[in-house]
């Protein structure tokens, strides 16, 4: 079947193209990473796919700090732009590209790209550091949040990382010892930086993928993490892989808490799903649906309507007014399906004094 709702299945299908792949986890990061990826691509000469969760992030209404034209100019090197343009196909500078090569040279030519990909992670991190100097928002190839001596860690990328971030802060404030490792640069995968970001104390690691690859030993991010640990000579850790959020299925702090509970077990499920009830192959793990990290000061509202009755548009205006005219953090998210007109729509509005990550 086909789903028009978002997950990571599509971006995982382009892994072999050689494009750099970089993820944004929130509405703010979408704006920020677009600039970082552009700057890094010009310098590294590696093309980039900058991705974020379709609809879940792309259609969320949230309060952001907008980049200015001066920020853009400071990040983009005009000499690199000119160099990029000079490599374009032009009758004034004729070159041949996209040839068909035979076995005598193809293999050798394929390996000539290696220096560009080896240099790419450092170039991306340098772009992130320049961006931090301009805006005060520091990103890293792999961002760790949580207890420095955490025994259980979740590795994840995309909007689910923000949900996990909020849950980690809540659990640690209530006596637990957990963390989340957010993956930003998925390709090229930088093993050294990944190992440096992962707490040495972590004994149990859950790697979450928002895709299903039938027939594989494990999903892509899980396989990368296992490979990175082996190549770095790291032993003695339990690594399990989970699937969540396919077709924009809800992913909540309660599910994150359930995964951390699974990691406590002597023999956690090596491959699991969360957020569904799998009564066929029994991959799903249990979680306490009543668990909540919601700040008491946050106001929550749900509005139901029928497609084309104006409910979604009115609520978008409401949350924008709250975000722009008050000091509150605001979040609006709107659920409607491919039937659109006449079908049920649901508008989720939240606002409060603290950032809303879930």
Say what percent of the chain tops pLDDT 90: 91
Mean pLDDT of the chain, nearest integer = 95
- pLDDT for 142 equals 98
Whether pLDDT at 161 is above 80: yes
Choose the weakest-confidence range: 47-56, 104-113, 129-138, 335-344: 335-344
What is d(CA 61, CA 331) in angstroms, rounded to the nearest whole number?
6
- Dump pLDDT digits (tens) for 235-294: 999 999 999 999 999 999 999 999 999 999 999 999 999 999 999 999 999 999 999 999
Strand order in the sheet with 344-352: 61-62, 329-335, 344-352, 299-306
What is d(CA 158, CA 26) in angstroms, rounded to the nearest whole number?
8
- pLDDT for 234 equals 96
> Residue 115: which pLDDT band, with cuts at 50, 70 and 90?
very high
Residue bearing the bigger pLDDT, 356 or 340: 356
- pLDDT for 54 equals 87
CB 25 within 8 A of CB 182: yes
> Residue 342: which pLDDT band, with cuts at 50, 70 and 90?
confident
CB 151 within 8 A of CB 204: yes
Reference 158, options 183, 179, 180; nearest CA is 183
CB 250 within 8 A of CB 6: no
- Three-state helix/strand/coil letters over 292-319: CCCCCCCEEEEEEEECCCCHHHHHHHHH
Whole-angstrom Cα Rg for the chain = 22
Whether pLDDT at 316 is above 90: yes
What is d(CA 173, CA 150) in angstroms, rounded to the nearest whole number?
13
- Dump pLDDT digits (tens) for 2-50: 888 889 999 999 999 999 999 999 999 999 999 999 999 999 999 999 9
């Amino acid at each position: 079947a086909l789903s028009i709702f978002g997950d990571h299945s599509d971006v995982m299908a382009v892994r072999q193209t050689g494009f750099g792949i970089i993820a944004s986890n929130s509405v703010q990061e979408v704006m920020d990473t677009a600039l970082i990826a552009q700057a890094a691509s010009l310098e590294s000469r590696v093309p980039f796919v900058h991705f974020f969760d379709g609809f879940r992030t792309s259609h969320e209404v949230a309060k952001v700090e907008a980049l200015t034209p001066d920020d853009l100019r400071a990040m983009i090197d005009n000499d690199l732009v000119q160099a990029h343009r000079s490599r374009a196909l032009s009758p004034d500078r004729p070159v041949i590209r996209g040839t068909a090569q035979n076995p005598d040279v193809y293999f050798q030519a394929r390996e000539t790209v290696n220096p560009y990909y080896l240099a790419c992670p450092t170039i991306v991190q340098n772009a992130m550091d320049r961006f931090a100097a301009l805006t005060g928002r520091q990103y890293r190839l792999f961002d760790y949040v949580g207890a420095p001596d955490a025994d259980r860690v979740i590795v994840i990328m995309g909007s689910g990382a923000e949900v996990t971030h909020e849950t980690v802060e809540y659990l640690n404030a209530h006596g637990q010892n957990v963390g989340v490792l957010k993956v930003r640069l998925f390709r090229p995968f930088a093993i050294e930086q990944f190992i440096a970001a992962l707490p040495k104390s972590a004994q149990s690691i859950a790697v979450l993928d928002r895709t299903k690859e039938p027939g594989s030993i494990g999903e892509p991010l899980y396989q990368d993490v296992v490979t990175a640990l082996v190549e770095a000579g790291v032993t003695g850790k339990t690594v399990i892989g989970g699937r969540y959020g396919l077709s924009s299925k809800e992913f909540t702090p309660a599910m994150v808490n359930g995964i951390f509970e699974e990691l406590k077990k002597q023999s956690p499920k090596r491959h699991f799903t969360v957020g569904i009830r799998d009564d066929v192959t029994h991959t799903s793990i249990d979680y306490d649906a009543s668990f909540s990290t919601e700040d008491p000061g946050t106001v929550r509202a749900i509005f139901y309507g029928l497609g084309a009755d104006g409910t979604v548009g009115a609520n978008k205006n409401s949350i924008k007014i709250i975000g722009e005219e008050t000091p509150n953090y605001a979040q609006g998210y709107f659920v409607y399906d491919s039937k659109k007109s006449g079908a049920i729509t649901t508008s989720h509005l939240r606002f409060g004094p603290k950032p809303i990550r879930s």
